[in-house]
Each structure stands twice: as C-alpha cells, then as structure tokens.
Amino acid sequence: MEHRIVMAGLFAALIAALGLVPSFQLISGVPISAQSLGVMLCGTVLGARRGALAVIIVVVLVTLGLPLLAGGRGGPAVLAGPTVGFFLGWIPAAYVTGLVMERWRPSSVALPAAIASLLGGVVVLYACGIVGMAAVLDRSLPEAAMLSLPFIPGDLVKCVLAGLITRGIATARPQSLLSRA
Amino acid sequence: MLTLLYPSESWLHRVPAGPKLTALPLLSVALLAFDSVAVSAGAGLAVGVLALSCGRGFALRALASLKPVAIFVVLVLAWGWIDGTLENGLRIALRLLTLVGAALLVTMSTRFDAMMEAVARPLRRLKIVDAARLAFVAMLVLRFVPAMIARLGALQDSWRARSSRRAGWRLVMPFMIGALDDADHVTDAIRARGGMPTDRAREDDTQR
C-alpha cells in the first residue's frame, strides 16, 4: 500500500519536474512543454487509478498555489484561465491512458503504451481542453480546436517517447510497472 | 523558489485564507451572471485597486503574472475586431483578466500551508479525505522534485566527465530507473518508521 502511494507521489513530482525542463520547439515557434509526457507516463506506468491519483495530487497542489506548471504558473488563477480544460483534463487523460494499458496486453509494451498515450494523453486531453477553452473564451468548439491544433505534432512525439520509456521500465524494473502488475 | 507568495505584510496577507478562497468562486458566478463590459470593467478596476492597495511591488508582480493570459486577451480582441464583434471580445477579455487577476491576488497573499488547511478542514470534517495522509503525500512530492533535479544534474555531470558529445535522450532511462529505485527506498524507509500518518491512526490504536 505504501509503495503505491509513494509511486503516485513520485510521478506527481515527475510531472512537476518536467515543468522545469525548458520547453522545446518542434516547428514554427510553438512551445511544447514536457509535462503532458509525465501525465502519459502516469497512465502507462501506474495504471488508471494510481495514475489518476498522481495527477490529482498535482492538480490539488497547483490549485492551492504551488507554481508547479511549466513557466512557474500555479494557484486558482489556472482554473480561471483559458487552459483550464487541459489542466483538469490531465486527470481523465491519465485515467484513460492507464485503463487502455491495463486492458490491452499484447506481448509488446511499447506499442500499447504509445497507443494508450495517444487515446488518453491526446484524444481525451484535447477533448477536455477544447471544451474548456471554448467556454472561457466564449468561442465555438471548432474555433477553440483550431487554437489547439498546432500543439498536436509535439504531443504525437510525446506518445512515442512515452511508449519507449514505458518499454524501458518494463525491461529494467518490471515490478515497478504497476499497470501490468 | 517553490512559492508564489509575495513576501510583504499587506492587509490582504492578514485576511484568512478561507474567506479569500470563498470569494473567488463567488466572483466568477457574479461575473457570469451579470455578463457585460461595464460589470467586468468595474470588477477589473476593483481588482486593480485592491492590488495597488497592497503596495506597488505587489501590484507590479501581479501584472507580470498575467503574462500567460495576455496572449489570449490579444487573441480574443483581435478576433472580435476582425469579425466585427469587438465589444464581445472586450467583454470576454475583461472577464478573463478580472478572474485571473483576482485569483493571483489570493495566491500572492496567502501562505501555502494556510491555503491547504483552509481546504483540508472542511474535507476532514466530512471525512471525505484523509487529511494527514494528503499532507504527507504533498510533502513527499515537494521533497521528490529537488531530489529529481539533483539526480538529473549528477547524471549530466558524469556524462560530461566521460564524453564530449551531448547526452540528449541517453540519460532518460537511467534517470527514470533511478527515480523508481528512490520510490522503493522511500517506501522501505516509511515502512521501517511504522507507515504513513493517517487521520484514522487514533481509532486503530483503540481497537488494538
């Protein structure tokens, strides 16, 4: 029991630490933060429930005022901003990623982890994010979607990374891969 | 570094966390219920005056912290200007700035532990959340973050001592494995000390 809670804490810290990684730019000056990679890993490594718990820890700490988001942002201001859907969407994103990872168990690890990250960390996350942005900016859903599209290529790269890192963990520390325990 | 608190002693700093936190959702509901340029502009002005009443440095820092939403404000205004609904754009932009600004004032004037206590107290009374455990996990996360950064720094140093090339992705797996081992060690240490603190501890003791 302690181990699972500590692991959730560790991955919450991983999401926070990834926010300190300077954002890289894939194409045309769209900044890409590494934090959603951490959210994907929460799902693929910890599974649905623990993964969501790790993300909830981050969401609570950030909302209460710790500057754990990329760029040192934090506090209830995040909930009032246009990216609120993406921020809260991290929770279902990690949950769905973990659920896919737990249910779909072919012999390889990298492929299901990457696909799980795509479904949870991109499809579910953008669905939440776009709804949030449309609500805050009072725009239609397609208009909000247009604002979010430039970030998709970077997130696809992160899906591949999540798949490879998860496979690495499955090889080196199989007992730590709680999603397949 | 791990704080957004503005280090001064303004009157806003002395207001308890609970009322300040309660004011934010009330403000949101009010602004959505009376959604107009005039109301949002008035509320925004009030937030600005509040910020200034806490000192010039405080207000300037709050202004700087608005930067992440600035791009959306420009976007909404430009959008409104292009399709001829500038007033609509102005209304949305003002509402956004007011709500985010008000939340910033609360964050900048309230200590994190006071904030956490204000939220944990009602939850504890309702027995939804194990507050002792929540606090423990929060501290665990806060300790893990610098430990992780230090670990990455050590890995980078040892790479540089051995190679003139860039490490890049090669450090990712050693970093992850080291972090997972840290989790194992921390788990052992917690078990050796009798487990995590919990609100239920006292009841368990009486049962034993």
- For B100, name the nearest residue in chain A, comparing CA atoms only: A77
Q: Averaged over A8-29, what is the pLDDT?
A: 80
Residue A104 backbone phi and psi in degrees, to 5:
-100, 110
Query: How many secondary structure helices (H) and strands (E) does chain B include?
Result: 10, 0
**Cβ neighbours for A177, distance < 8 A, ≥ 6 positions apart:** A45, A109, A166, A169, A170
Per-residue confidence (pLDDT) for residue B49, from 0 to 100: 95
ipTM: 0.90
**Predicted confidence (pLDDT) per residue in B52-101, tens digit:** 999 999 999 999 999 888 888 998 999 889 888 888 899 999 999 999 99
Residue A107 scores a pLDDT above 90:
no
pLDDT in tens, B15-24: 999 999 999 9
Q: Which helix (H) or strand (E) holds A24?
A: strand A24-25
CA distance A40 to A19: 14
Per-domain residue ranges for chain B?
11-119, 130-207
Contact yes or no for B179 and A75 at CB 8 A: no
Note whether A2 contacts B21, CB cutoff 8 Å: no
Alpha-carbon gap, residue A19 to A39, rounded angstroms: 11
Residue A19's contacts (CB-CB under 8 Å, 6 or more residues apart) are A33, A34, A35, A68, A69, A70, A71
Amino acid code (one letter) for A133:
M
* Burial environment of residue B129 by CB neighbours within 10 A (0 to 12, 13 to 18, 19 or more): middle
Q: Find the helix or strand (DSSP H, E) in which A128 lies.
A: helix A125-137
Structural domains in chain A, CATH included, are: 2-20+32-177 (1.10.1760.20)
Residue B111 main-chain phi, psi, to 5 deg:
-65, 150
The shortest C-alpha distance from A9 to chain B (Å) reads 5
Q: Across the interface, do A5 and B196 touch by the CB < 8 Å criterion?
A: yes
| pLDDT over 90 at A32, yes or no | no
What is the rounded radius of gyration, in angstroms, for the C-alpha atoms of chain A?
15
pTM of the shown model: 0.90
Task: Please report the residues numbered 56 through 95 in chain B whose beta carbons come closer than 8 angstroms to any beta carbon of chain A.
Answer: 65, 68-69, 72, 75-76, 79, 88, 92
Query: Is the Cβ pair A67, B177 closer than 8 Å?
Result: no
Is the pLDDT reported for residue B205 higher than 70? Answer: no
